[in-house]
Amino acid sequence: AKVHHHTWDIAYHYKSLDCVEKLAVTINGESPGPTIHATQGDTIVVTVHNKLETENTGIHWHGIRQIGSPWADGTVGVTQCPILPGDTFTYRFVVDRPGTYFYHAHYGMQRVAGLDGMLVVSAPDGVAEPFTYDEERTILLMDWWHKSVYEQAVGLASDPLKFVGEPQSLLINGRGVFEPFHCSRAPNGSSDAACNVPAPQDARRRRSSRPCREDVPPPRWQPDVAVGAQLRDRGPPMTVVEVDGHYVRPVVVDSLYIYSGESYSVLVKADQNPSWNYWAASHVVARERNTTSAMAILSYAGNDPRAPPPTPRPEGPAWDDVTARVEQSRSLAVAHPDHVLPVPPRPDRALLLLNTQNRIGGHTKWAINGVSLAFPATPYLVSMKRGLQGAYDARPPPETYDFRSYDIERPPPANGTVASAVYRLALGSVVDLVLQNTVALNKKSETHPWHLHGHDFWVLAYGDGKFDPERDTARFNLRDPVMKNTVALHPKGWTAVRFVADNPGVWLFHCHIEAHVYMGMAVVFEEGVDKVGRLPKSIMGCGRSRTLP
């Protein structure tokens, strides 16, 4: 096994990722950051210099379980103190499983300021994957806002709430073209003065007047917020073969629904007319489409890679087709159920987690069973391992909600609380989590992609309406469920997952939409913290960990 050393300067730079100049948080001057390539069993060492001048940072390795290294998870407030401006911090961890992963800032809302990139772990030489391919490409999908994340965060914490709204652009490998949405829908040649970009249908004009545009070739996908990626318009369909680091039974799709925090590997066969170019597009789904879709070009060798495809730009699937999205979620199953860890037949503990939007103390928050998470000044890992009393709310959060009488069609009747409470799990126990969706204060029900740090879980079921433990537990798929680390909670539905709490440490479980976790849509799990090895001093220095020996 190899050791890969990387040295990163994290700094703000002016970037024009979507042709509009804006400050972006960069790694060695780039956003997105470099793709890390490694082989299963390798060690990654990343030395991070925080050169943001006035902002803290911390970097999370999304999908890497950090077995034996919980302090390298990069979750500020949970596993470490923030890395202060001017400071250096070293992450060191083993990548123990092949798959497509990524990394991103885990401090405030910094991820959407551009601090992210991909982490691709290959199977060792001689270990065959259940599929073959000639070439591998990585694709990172992102949302891009023009307001600074600081302004976005302050808006979310303000009374009244100023929501971040829809992103201005979608990016494919860090490139996009900002076009006001109404302009992109205007008929060709429209003379709307507000649209000082060329009509998008005129790809030729657009190309010549938009030198910042880059053409990005496909096959591996990675997103932010809910994005539907489409790589076809009389082009090749995609076969999904890997999800969040697990091989799945191959599924052929025209469009792939991806939620923030998920990763997919798809196979594309280059067997189309080679003299054409093809569109690869990503569109907003699950929220009303107010952002122009991102377009890239898939080009055969020998073609002009910038020549516009002869076909119209793909429209993508309807943004509000919940049924199609739930169906895709349900279509995923593990590739070889007999070759993987069997699902434990029953849980030792089941948490029923109601997701609500609440008004708390004049602020709009997201809460789970009435509790909106606020990170304590001292990271949980330090305060729990070192037994610091009073560093977080010791009273445990509720295990369930009143599911018999609760009406998920209405915003919550009661106000919640803000707390830093923790679910303490018995080490090695089997835990079921059932996420229950409702309508928010605006009476709409959104999609929330939930991500678990430190573990993968089996996805046992997606249901519509309200989860009924007696009726629905019997419908759990214990035969061939896919394992994931991020799962969609669909509008007015529920999602059930199971995991084994066998990784000593303290782990965040949260909605991966940056604005939602910032508004408290998260819970914390602790298991076997006494079994965690000696904590590195480098994760300390804030709150009550300042004075620790």
- Site residues, ligand C2O (CB under 6 A): 60, 62, 104, 106, 261, 451, 453, 508, 510, 512
| 88 backbone dihedrals φ, ψ, rounded to 5° | -125, 140
Instruction: Select 521 or 540, whichever has its Cβ closest to ligand C2O.
Output: 521
Q: With CB under 5 A, what is the number of residues at the site for Cu ion?
A: 4
Q: Scanning residues 477 to 536, which ones bind Cu ion (CB under 5 A)?
A: 511, 513, 516
Cα distance between residue 142 and residue 116, in whole Å? 9
Task: Tell me the closest approach of the beta carbon of residue 449 to ligand C2O, in angstroms.
Answer: 10
Residue 61 CB, shortest distance to ligand C2O, in Å, is: 9
Q: Which residue matches tokens 């060329």?
A: 198
Nearer to Cu ion, 280 or 513 (CB): 513
Please count the other Cβ atoms lying within 10 Å of the Cβ belonging to residue 270: 14
Question: Nearer to ligand C2O by C-beta: 15 or 104?
Answer: 104
* Identity of the residue, 108 or 236, whose beta carbon is nearer to Cu ion in the bound complex: 108
Q: Is residue 129 packed enough to be buried (19+ CB in 10 Å), middle (13-18) or exposed (0-12)? A: middle
Sign of the four-CA dihedral 326, 459, 75, 523: positive
**Smallest distance, Å, CB 489 to Cu ion?**
8
The identity of residue 401, as a single letter, is Y
Task: Indicate the residue among 140 and 253 with the shorter CB distance to ligand C2O.
Answer: 140
Taking the least distance from each CB to ligand C2O, the nearer of 55 and 73 is: 73
User: Does 253 participate in binding Cu ion (rule CB under 5 A)?
Assistant: no
The C-alpha atoms of residue 173 and residue 166 are separated, in whole angstroms, by 19
Are the C-beta atoms of residues 284 and 290 closer than 8 Å to each other?
yes
Strands 417-419 and 371-373: parallel
Name the residue with the smallest CB distance to ligand C2O: 62
The entry of Cu ion, ligand C2O, none that residue 60 binds, CB within 5 to 8 Å by partner kind: ligand C2O
The vertex-36 CA angle with 295 and 339, nearest 5°, equals 95
Q: Least separation, in Å, of the C-beta of 119 and ligand C2O?
A: 11
Minimum CB distance to Cu ion smaller for 325 or for 516? 516
Number of helices (H) and strands (E) in the chain: give both, helices first.
Answer: 7, 31
Residue 111 interacting with Cu ion (CB under 5 A): no
Q: Are 253 and 284 in contact (CB under 8 A)?
A: no
75: nearest Cα among 450, 449, 505, 502? 505
Q: What minimum distance in Å lies between the beta carbon of 453 and ligand C2O?
A: 6
Least distance between Cu ion and beta carbon 477 (Å) = 24
Q: Which does 513 bind (CB under 5 to 8 A by kind): ligand C2O, Cu ion, none?
A: Cu ion
Dig out the tokens for 259 from the structure: 């939620």
Buried b (16+ CB within 10 A) or exposed e, 484-496: bbbbbbbbbbbbb
Least distance CB 73 / ligand C2O (angstroms): 9
Binding mask 432-461 for Cu ion (x = CB under 5 A): ----------------x-------------
For residue 65, state whether it binds Cu ion (rule: CB under 5 A): no
* Binding stretches for Cu ion (CB under 5 A): 448, 511, 513, 516
